[in-house]
Amino acid sequence: MTISSSLNAGISGLTANASRLASISDNIANASTYGYKRVQTDFHSMVISSRGGTYSAGGTRATSQRLIDERGPLVSTSNPTDLAVRGRGMLPVARQSEIALGNGQSQMLLTTTGSFRTDANGFLTSESGLALLGWPALADGTVPSYPRDTSDGLEPVQINVNQFSGEPTTRMTLGVNLPATETDAVSDGETQELSVEYYDNLGTSESIRIEFVPTVPESGSSNEWTMVMRDTAQEGAVIGEYTLAFDDSRSLGGTLESVTAVTGGPYDPATGTMIVDVAGGPIEINIGNIGESDGITQLSDRFAPVSISKDGSPVGNMTSVEVDANGYVHAYFDTGLTRTIYKVPLVDLPNPNGMVALDQQTYMPSPDSGTYFLWDAGEGPTGDIVSYAREESATDVASELTSMIQTQRSYSSNAKVIQTVDEMLQETTNIKR
């Protein structure tokens, strides 16, 4: 009956507008929720075939979709492990409760922002109980290759705030000027001494003691020195002895002319280095290239260590942790040492809006979202990771309030249709009287 279809259409309109009001209410309620993705409700008409010149109202139905690919504005914070994704991609996380059980691989969930801090076990965890996932780095700070189409290689990022770390010395550079007058026949041939500190494999301070012994000729100038290196960790044992000859020409005066190894590793003229073995292992020492003034020189009448540099550091305490734009988690120590301990990838899917929405602004991949892939942040289609930042809600309160007014009017209009149908049915009933 046509008049009955009008009643049913009015009821469907009430139901659809009630659904839309529910989504609007949810959006407004989460206007201050970090990382919230708004829900959009659309109406779709239902058509019933008309017969015999009469029209039957089909009404409407509502469908709702969470717009996960919409991003809210970023706001700065003071916490270095407050993270937000700028652009495409999502952070992998897992529920802390699943990790605490320790009964296997935790379910990977996705989110676009989170305020992560270390818990009692050192896991970087948000206030809602979500632990950040990443790939662990090796001891040397490099991150090995992990499969990108599965979450099997991901682990909860765990920070040992009481961690000590040191870095052994593996290379050093000597920039030293030797007095040219000491190789003259009239000089007393005074030996010049230099001690360069290095750190062994246990972070202990040791030294390479270097003696520069001039060659004093019977006449003229020899422009030659013998460099003897001793290791304090081996009770002063000689680890290298080299004969250094210097150029005295107008164009190259004072630069190395030749280096001859007596003991120790050979001198490489292409790099200006030699390798000597201290107690803890080999150290590469750069004394400069032939014909260049970038290392050891012989000029004037003064001994001067111009520039001495080396890598390595003593044992120090961890002071802070930060995540850079490419997802590398860096631990900083009070000795100035920085060590990479994890790498956090960004997860991308063909259809982010097809994921299953869960609590705490987290989402789970589904068949509708497509197969996910773990990208390096800043590569491929993904954006980068911003630390000291949170993503605000994607809700526009002004737009939601406007939609709420429209929904209220539409609801009232559908209620009026039902009221009108009721009056018409009353008139039909009155025909019998």
* Cα–Cα distances in angstroms (integers) from residue 39 to residues 65, 194, 245, 398, in the given order: 6, 71, 79, 15
pLDDT score at 91? 97
Q: What is the pLDDT of residues 294-334, one digit of tens each?
A: 999 999 999 999 999 999 888 778 888 999 999 999 998 88
pLDDT score at 288? 96
Residue entry with tokens 């080396």:
310
pTM above 0.85, yes or no: no
* Cα–Cα distances in angstroms (integers) from residue 289 to residues 210, 267, 273, in the given order: 19, 10, 8
Instruction: Return the C-alpha torsion angle 281, 287, 290, 293, nearest 10.
Output: 160
Average pLDDT of span 123-141: 92
Per-residue confidence at 55, pLDDT binned at 50, 70, 90? confident
Q: How far apart are CA 414 and CA 246, in angstroms?
A: 100
Does position 58 have pLDDT exceeding 90, yes or no? Answer: no
Q: How many residues does the chain have?
A: 433
In this structure, of 62-66, 213-217, 417-421, the range with the lowest mean pLDDT score is 417-421
N-terminal to C-terminal alpha carbon distance within the chain: 22
Of 39, 60, 57, 41, the closest CA to residue 406 belongs to 41
Average pLDDT of span 235-251: 96
Burial of 149 (0-12, 13-18, 19+ CB in 10 A): exposed
SS (H, E, C) 203-234: CCEEEEEEEEEECCCCCCECCEEEEEEEEHHH
Question: Strand ranges (DSSP E) for 46-146?
Answer: 60-66, 74-76, 82-86, 91-95, 109-111, 113-118, 124-126, 130-136
Instruction: For 19-70, give the DSSP string.
Output: HHHHHHHHHHHTTTSTT---EEEEEEE------TT------EEEEEEE-TT-
Interacting residues of 250 by C-beta distance below 8 A, sequence separation 6+: none
The tokens for 183 are 């190789």
Burial of 208 (0-12, 13-18, 19+ CB in 10 A): buried
pLDDT score at 104? 65
pLDDT score at 161? 67
Q: What is the pLDDT of residues 149-181, one digit of tens each?
A: 999 899 999 998 666 667 899 999 999 999 999
More confident residue, 203 or 372: 372
Instruction: For 335-371, give the DSSP string.
Output: TS-EEEEEE--EEE-S-GGGSEEETTTEEE--TTT--
pLDDT score at 167? 84
Burial of 17 (0-12, 13-18, 19+ CB in 10 A): buried
Average pLDDT of span 367-373: 95
CB 235 within 8 A of CB 227: no
Residue type, 69: D
Q: What is the pLDDT of residues 179-207, one digit of tens each?
A: 999 999 999 999 999 999 999 988 889 99
Domains of the chain: 2-67+394-430 (no CATH), 78-163+322-391 (no CATH), 169-311 (2.60.98.20)
pLDDT score at 258? 97
Average pLDDT of span 30-49: 91
Residue entry with tokens 């994921």:
355
Q: What is the pLDDT of residues 79-108, one digit of tens each?
A: 999 999 999 999 999 999 888 877 667 899
* Whole-number percent of the chain with pLDDT over 90: 77
Does position 250 have pLDDT exceeding 80, yes or no? Answer: yes
pLDDT score at 10? 86
Does position 1 have pLDDT exceeding 60, yes or no? Answer: no
pLDDT score at 276? 97
pLDDT score at 145? 92
The whole-chain average pLDDT of the chain stands at: 92
Query: With left for phi above 0 and alpha for psi between -120 and 50, is residue 180 left, alpha or beta?
Result: alpha
pLDDT score at 373? 96
